[in-house]
Structure 1
Amino acid sequence: MTGAREPFAAVDVIRAKRDGARLRDEQIAWVVDAYTRGAVAEEQMAALAMAIFLRGMDAAETATWTGAMIDSGERLALATTRPTVDKHSTGGVGDKITLPLAPLVAACGAAVPQLSGRGLGHTGGTLDKLESIPGWRASLSATEIAAQLEEVGAVVCAATPSLAPADRKLYALRDVTGTVESVPLIASSIMSKKIAEGSAALVLDVKVGSGAFMKTLGQARELARALVDIGAAHGVATTALLTDMSAPLGAAVGNAVEVAEAVDVLRGGGPADVVELTLALAREMLQLAGLGEQDPARVLASGEAYETWRRMIRAQGGDPDAELPKPAHVHVVESPESGTLARLDAYAVGVAAWRLGAGRARKEDPVQAAAGIRCLAKPGKRVERGQPLLELHTDTPDAVAPALEALTGAWAVAERDDAPAAGGEGIVLETVRA
């Protein structure tokens, strides 16, 4: 509850936003701090979150709110001789891009402090994927992060508890109060953690489509603009790419299967869409880091990025040569007819992978390292009746039936061979800059 010594009353801040007023900087700084230390009750912040959801915040309010979230904790001091640049994705299906991207950009001369998260629902988590590598550990101290950045150039690990603690508390509240979809709250949540990491530059991968949080281009543009504006307000060079998430990214969706696909990319192979997006994001990151003269395609082809990957995995206790976990059970889904695969819904595939054990319904749930899906055909490809379309991987055969249920209506096979392929215009749809 609000004490007598507090400079504001929470109910007054709630009423102001409820009635459509712009919150003053000092009100925002106080309410975020007071909520973090327990002086503003959960039900009061729930009411304020709903008021923000309904009334919105302008760009200046959102930047101030983000700053207050950052100030609730510590900032990493990244003492490195390399220019620092980070990447954040808003989440998708088969989105393993961090895995090849971080070592690639590091091999080009930058330092990439990639503090990542775990999967929830139909979207996968980078840490869950990497933990399928025997011995690899996600938790590093600030000292270990700094040392690895200097020695290897890239680190992918869990965020330290001291970074933006207000965001962790507010995120959990939003999840149970129907206020997750607020663009100012989404943008401030993402950017508070990324700015607190201490990187000088940031490239955002804002997903668009059925497998993304933002289903339409208009929604994605709004979020991208909010993110880029926050970065600019806090002195972080920021660019956002809007990228297609109507179909799964690559052929692998899950944990170990995505690691294997990322390694294929680093060794010069891999699906074309994964390579395309990896290089597009790398070019933007290098440009913002002042390393625009570097050619990430050449570095990827040279094997340098793969060697950086191996050093990055070893630095965190992992064995890059170890065999990845294999599923106890594989179920093959066949095409019911011949023609062109016109659609493969990303959201349905993501939910199916989750039900197979690759994801979690609650943050405390375990995941199966070997669970996931391999997409054996992608939109635009010719398929024959009886041809395998999907491989469902799981250690629990009872999970296959609910996964198949999730896949009902997930694909469409057109009779004509010239049916349009989903995402045929390329995976990068638009770029938003400061």
Structure 2
Amino acid sequence: MSGFAAVDVIRTKRDGGVLSDAQIDWVVDAYTRGRVADEQMSALAMAILLRGMTGAEIARWTAAMIASGERLDLSAVHRPTVDKHSTGGVGDKITLPLTPLVAACGAAVPQLSGRGLGHTGGTLDKLESIPGWRAALSNAEFTAQLRDVGAVICAAGEGLAPADRKLYALRDVTGTVEAIPLIASSIMSKKIAEGTGALVLDVKVGSGAFMKSVDDARELARTMVELGGAHGVRTVALLTDMSTPLGRTVGNAVEVTESVEVLAGGGPADVVELTLALAREMLAAAGLPDVDPADALRDGRAMDSWRAMIEAQGGDPDAPMPVANEVEVVRAETDGVVAAVDAYAIGIAAWRLGAGRARKEDPVSAAAGVVLHRRPGDLVRAGDPLYELRADDPARIPAARAEAARAVTVADRVTPAAPLVIERIG
């Protein structure tokens, strides 16, 4: 492709124009090949953030990102394929119980996941706290495990949407992460390239989410649902609340432990509720609407599926999980009721403790995190434990304590909680 200059493409979008299909194809390809410089793509990303894109532009941009790499063929799996993507939150361990649960119900779940950055956790970081488990699979291993086990959670291979890998790293350091057209095309290019037949999106809303308002979350969800449909992937989205952390744990090993409790038929009510809501959407999208996933939690099939998935990737499902060296319990100062637990503040506290990273290359602690003893609506007496801070390094505790101190509000009464599932789109 030739005949374009990067500066002309930038000017078109800067001035509010609509990029042509040929311009989009050229600039994505040229950037992937290193013929468009980072500073030029940075300028274009900022122009897109400020000026937006039409639906047709977003669809073409997504197609160009898919075309930058390979598209997996899952036809050998012989089960309906369905995936789930969450836009990220605090305590959002849902992928861990959900993937083996849906597989236990007859679908195959090709879950390509990522790592945490900032206050949001990463599924791969959580699973890597299991001794022996590995995130990197070849395409052949990925397909074979999907065929034999029905569930796989792993890192995306280098060949899938390489344009997105370059652009995502650039957006992270140029203040353009929030651009809805770029968020939507980033997520959907990888999900479409992985070859899944259907997709359920969990679009988070609230303080602990990237989308703080329902309107922004709805716009992102609609954009992604339309992109999926345009590429032949049956796509639905749920808007879900992320003002409060999911469950009682925020971290890596602690979230795996809580996920196993859900698979054993227990676990926090909100984690179970969202896992089942997403499982039902996934099974319906995969053409299995009459299967009740709650049965697979009760009868042990979901746990069997989890163990098979972990073992297939070298992990030991019976191994003890890492335990933090330092634990500090924070207690209530007054009697009352927990009115709020702010997801963002708890997420930042977990990050300060070592459970997350500031840069992609930073290591994470498997054992660090926050464990909540009280959630909104719970009664407390002065001296009751509110939460505990866990870290390998005691020097991390004070900064985390300062962040978490703003998170929990104890009041005389509590207002009714917002529903966990806010809206369905698609």
TM-score interval, smaller chain: over 0.9
Contact in 2 for aligned 1:379/1:421 (Cα 8 Å): no
Distance 2:188 2:118 in 1: 22
* Cα deviations by residue, 1:194-234 (Å, 9 ceiling, x for unpaired): 11110010000000000000011111111111111111111
Query: Residues 348-363 of structure 1: matches in 2 within 5 Å?
Result: 348-363=345-360
Aligned to 1:290: 287
Contact in 2 for aligned 1:93/1:350 (Cα 8 Å): yes
Q: 3-state SS of the aligned residue for 1:104?
A: helix
Distance 1:178 1:398 in 2: 30
- Structure 1 runs, 4 residues or longer, greater than 3 Å off: none
Distance 1:421 1:384 in 2: 21
1:196 aligns with one of 193, 197, 200: 193
Distance 1:38 1:348 in 2: 39
Q: CA deviation at 1:333?
A: 0.5
Aligned to 2:253: 256
Residues paired across the two proteins, number: 425
Normalised to the residue count of structure 1, the TM-score between the two structures is 0.97
- The alignment status of 1:181 with 2:174, answered yes or no, reads no
Aligned to 1:205: 202
Distance 1:109 1:220 in 2: 31
Taking only the aligned residue pairs, the percentage that are identical comes to 70
- The alignment status of 1:6 with 2:2, answered yes or no, reads yes
Mean alpha-carbon deviation: is it higher for 127-136 or for 36-45?
36-45
Q: 3-state SS of the aligned residue for 1:298?
A: helix
Q: 3-state SS of the aligned residue for 1:270?
A: coil
Q: 3-state SS of the aligned residue for 2:77?
A: coil
- The alignment status of 1:63 with 2:59, answered yes or no, reads yes
- The alignment status of 1:430 with 2:405, answered yes or no, reads no
Aligned to 2:324: 327
Distance 2:177 2:312 in 1: 36
Distance 1:237 1:32 in 2: 26
Normalised to the residue count of structure 2, the TM-score between the two structures is 0.99
Q: CA deviation at 1:77?
A: 1.4
- The alignment status of 1:171 with 2:168, answered yes or no, reads yes
Q: CA deviation at 1:327?
A: 0.8
Contact in 2 for aligned 1:349/1:410 (Cα 8 Å): yes
Aligned to 1:159: 156
Distance 1:39 1:361 in 2: 29
Distance 1:194 1:410 in 2: 34
Q: 3-state SS of the aligned residue for 1:412?
A: strand
Distance 2:92 2:340 in 1: 18
Query: Residues 25-424 of structure 1: matches in 2 within 5 Å?
Result: 25-78=21-74, 79-416=76-413, 419-423=414-418
Distance 2:415 2:14 in 1: 47
* Cα deviations by residue, 1:326-377 (Å, 9 ceiling, x for unpaired): 1111100101111110000000000000110101111111111111111111
Distance 1:54 1:357 in 2: 34
Contact in 2 for aligned 1:208/1:215 (Cα 8 Å): yes
* Cα deviations by residue, 1:49-103 (Å, 9 ceiling, x for unpaired): 1111111001111011000001001111112100000000000000000000000
Contact in 2 for aligned 1:342/1:421 (Cα 8 Å): no
Distance 2:109 2:201 in 1: 14
Aligned to 1:15: 11
Q: CA deviation at 1:421?
A: 4.2
AA aligned opposite 2:3: P
Distance 1:313 1:410 in 2: 34
Q: 3-state SS of the aligned residue for 2:101?
A: helix
